[in-house]
Structure 1
Amino acid sequence: MPHDGTTEVEIPHDLLVQNYTDPVAAIVSVTYPDLMENLTNNDYFNDRAILSPTIEVVNQVTAKFLNTISSFGLPMHKLTLKVGVPIMLLRNIDEASGLCNGTRLRVTHLGKSMIEAITLNGSKPNEKVLIITWT
């Protein structure tokens, strides 16, 4: 059946997030219930993700969500990683090593220009990887 590159998808009723005032906060809280209790549980993050159709939407949602976070000692509009938090790659870094867009990892060590993490999914789960960062 030919189409112009778009289609409608019906979302099952039990997956809809309802009765909210802040849609981004609602999606996060429904997707990651009991987040703090599960920070070290690799399976918890393997079973959950917030999907977005385009990078533009990701940027909108991410910026909106980050702007709502205020915590003592945490500067506004700055993402601070900590050991133990889950992260997801948003681009291919090294496909042969399994570091591709969508790969989930858990941070195990942070250096001045390096992130050490354990892969949670992808073609090589439970492997230690080093990601060199630059600012």
Structure 2
Amino acid sequence: MAKEVLCVTASGLLQLGTETPFGIQTSIENLASFDDAKNWAKRNGISLRYYTAGHTIRAEDFQFLAAIRLSSSIDDAVTASGRSPSGIVSTLLRLSTLGYLHLSRSKRRKDWTIALTDLAQSTLTSLAGVEANA
């Protein structure tokens, strides 16, 4: 099934599109703000994802990355995100698998260390303007 995505155009507008094996096929829907895009996606039952640098990331994961960008441990991430330690483990593992985080794991989860990768940093930088308008 094709993934619906939201792209930032050169003019700063947001454009809806569908991810294909060859790139993004955009629609004629242009939205002026991120709130408009979120509302449109919600009305149409679309799970919003970001597409940047050839990767897609769920809106929830992007917001989590933004919240923990200065975190270096599980405790820091829990404090920054406001989620429980057990609640963030699956998100951390998923983001690590996708290449957004580097996790140094040990027996005790409490001792895990977190480092954002260059992909995460560039994603946060490129989408910062979009999220600021939310």
So what's the TM-score if we normalise by structure 2?
0.27
TM-score by structure 1 length?
0.27
| Structure with the largest fraction of strand | 2
Q: Which has the higher helix share?
A: 2
Decide which structure has the larger Cα Rg and report it.
1
